[in-house]
Copies of this chain bind each other. A is one copy, B any other.
Amino acid sequence: MSELDKIGTYQFVAEPFHVDFTGHLTIGVLGNHLLNVAGFHAHDRGFGIDHLNEENYTWVLSRLAIEMTDLPYQYEPFSIQTWVENVYRLFTDRNFAVLNKEGKPVAYARSVWAMINMETRKPIDLMAMHNGDITGYICDKDCPIEKPSRIKVTSKEPVAEMPVRYSDMDINGHVNSIRYMEHILDLFPIDTFKEKRLHRFEMAYVAETMAGDSLAYYVDKVDEGHFDVEVKKNAAETVCRSKVIFKRN
């Protein structure tokens, strides 16, 4: 298989309700597209959720890091490429490039996934799955952004607390991965998004949250425009961590 065949490319348009007040695609919508194309790419190669479901397995997103310059503007067509960078025993690295309508990269993303057995919630050995077929899709296309980092938050005072609401939940009854991204960005004053632009956004997913849980948000200001965020459920257990880096326009 050529390197080109290993890369999946998917077409999109920046819909009107999918852009923010600057007219550019929101990170939540971009995140949704990234997770969708990961699903399409895996599906087309026989290791998608639908095949895995028969074996009671599912993919779980562990980490996501996105770096962007100039996201697509309202009504602009764009495409997303995705490929597998590495496969380890319990994790796989999947990368993404977002290309604008001229085909120029305007964002890159890195993600780390595990596969689990839905009944036991235990991780699956990817090398043992279908004789390690997945390693045949490893592709050495460049992804010129840093890997997801370790995030450590020291703040003990939450800046916001909110219960899990109906619109937060996915089909499994858990808060969906995209909603955390939106809730975290909503911690920042709107003026932040006027003066600066989002440069890098990282998510590390640690535990699931469901109906009845309350989410508390803790924020460390690491540097000018650089924030580390931790979300805990019921003011105790870490649910996810995030790194948010803004740059001056």
Interface residue? A26 (CB, 8 A): yes
Pick from B16, B32, B74, B186: contact of A17, CB below 8 A.
B32
Interface residue? A178 (CB, 8 A): yes
Interface residue? A39 (CB, 8 A): yes
Name the interface size band of chain A: 35 or more
Interface residue? A167 (CB, 8 A): yes
Within 8 A of B (CB), among A21-51: 21-23, 26, 28, 32, 35-36, 39, 50
Pick from B19, B20, B173, B182: contact of A21, CB below 8 A.
B173
Interface residue? A15 (CB, 8 A): yes
Report if A36-B21 is in contact (Cβ < 8 Å); known contacts: A190-B166, A193-B166, A211-B190: no
Contact across chains for B28 and A15 when beta carbons are under 8 A apart: no
Within 8 A of B (CB), among A58-85: 74-75
Interface residue? A104 (CB, 8 A): no
Q: State the CA gap A188–B19 with chains docked (Å).
A: 27
Q: Which of A15, A32, A166, A211 has the most CB of B within 10 A?
A: A166
Interface residue? A221 (CB, 8 A): no
Residues on B with beta carbons closer than 8 Å to the beta carbon of A36 = 15-17
Contact across chains for B20 and A169 when beta carbons are under 8 A apart: yes
Contact across chains for B190 and A28 when beta carbons are under 8 A apart: no
Residues on B with beta carbons closer than 8 Å to the beta carbon of A28 = 167
Interface residue? A176 (CB, 8 A): yes
Within 8 A of B (CB), among A125-176: 164-167, 169-173, 176
Report if A16-B171 is in contact (Cβ < 8 Å); known contacts: A164-B190, A190-B164, A190-B211: yes
Interface residue? A185 (CB, 8 A): yes
Write the A182-203 contact mask toward B (1 if CB under 8 angstroms, else 0): 1001101010010000000000
Residues on B with beta carbons closer than 8 Å to the beta carbon of A75 = 50
Q: State the CA gap A26–B212 with chains docked (Å).
A: 20
Q: State the CA gap A170–B190 with chains docked (Å).
A: 12
- A33 vs chain B, min Cβ distance (A): 9
Write the A201-215 contact mask toward B (1 if CB under 8 angstroms, else 0): 000000000011000
Contact across chains for B20 and A35 when beta carbons are under 8 A apart: no
Contact across chains for A21 and B167 when beta carbons are under 8 A apart: no
Given known contacts A16-B39, A21-B173, A167-B182, what 4 new A-B pairs fall within 8 Å (CB)?
A16-B171, A20-B166, A164-B190, A167-B185
